Chain A
């Protein structure tokens, strides 16, 4: 079966712009989590969505938001981009919230200039 698909894979933005990233989970998976990976901070949890509801939120500013659609696909948005938002954004899907078995996508690499 197809894995977790993230689009776009690479993108470049400038400070102040906003960006939307997309994640299509494995078919049948209803939980989608987002993580930010940077060389300095490593992998950090952003938020998790299950059944179109945000289940958990990490310690990130309100510029970071997300949503989940009825088909379990998820999007995350970052507004008013800052240089420090440059990172690999990883999406992980799971059958359900609390299943504790995550499958990660290849990520979307965002560069903010």
Chain B
């Protein structure tokens, strides 16, 4: 079974704080994606990482892909209330055909003003 474990499940912080969300698997990903979902909406793709050791930045968000391509992290600098939402990691595994994504359980982030 291909599982993605995401931590923490819940995070409540003050505006301006930094945070890191982790995504781990015992299996190697062919690629990994991070999504953000707001209430009443579907997940929206933030980034795709493909190469082991890859680091991508999207404004205040930094995404890292582990060297062995089994783990990833999302770091948010100086969080803002607009960052509130459900953050999901999702992986494509090498032996899953097509567009089959395996999702982590999600991290529900609340940023208080």
Contacts and interface: CB of A to CB of B under 8 A. Distances in A.
Nearest to B105: A42
Given A31-B99, A33-B100, A56-B98, A102 B105 contact: no
A33 B99 contact: yes
A26 interface: no
Interface string B34-67: 0000001111110010000000000000000000
A104 B31 contact: no
A28 interface: no
User: Main SS of chain B's interface residues?
Assistant: loop
Nearest to B43: A104
Contacts of B44: 104
B103 A42 contact: yes
Interface of B: 31, 33, 40-45, 48, 88, 90, 92, 96-106
B106 A42 contact: yes
Interface centre among A42, A55, A106 (most CB of B within 10 A): A42
B42 A4 contact: yes
A98 B97 contact: yes
A48 B97 CA distance: 10
22 contacts: A4-B42, A31-B99, A42-B88, A42-B103, A42-B106, A43-B103, A45-B101, A48-B98, A48-B99, A50-B98, A56-B96, A56-B97, A56-B99, A58-B100, A94-B99, A97-B99, A98-B97, A98-B99, A100-B48, A104-B43, A106-B40, A106-B41
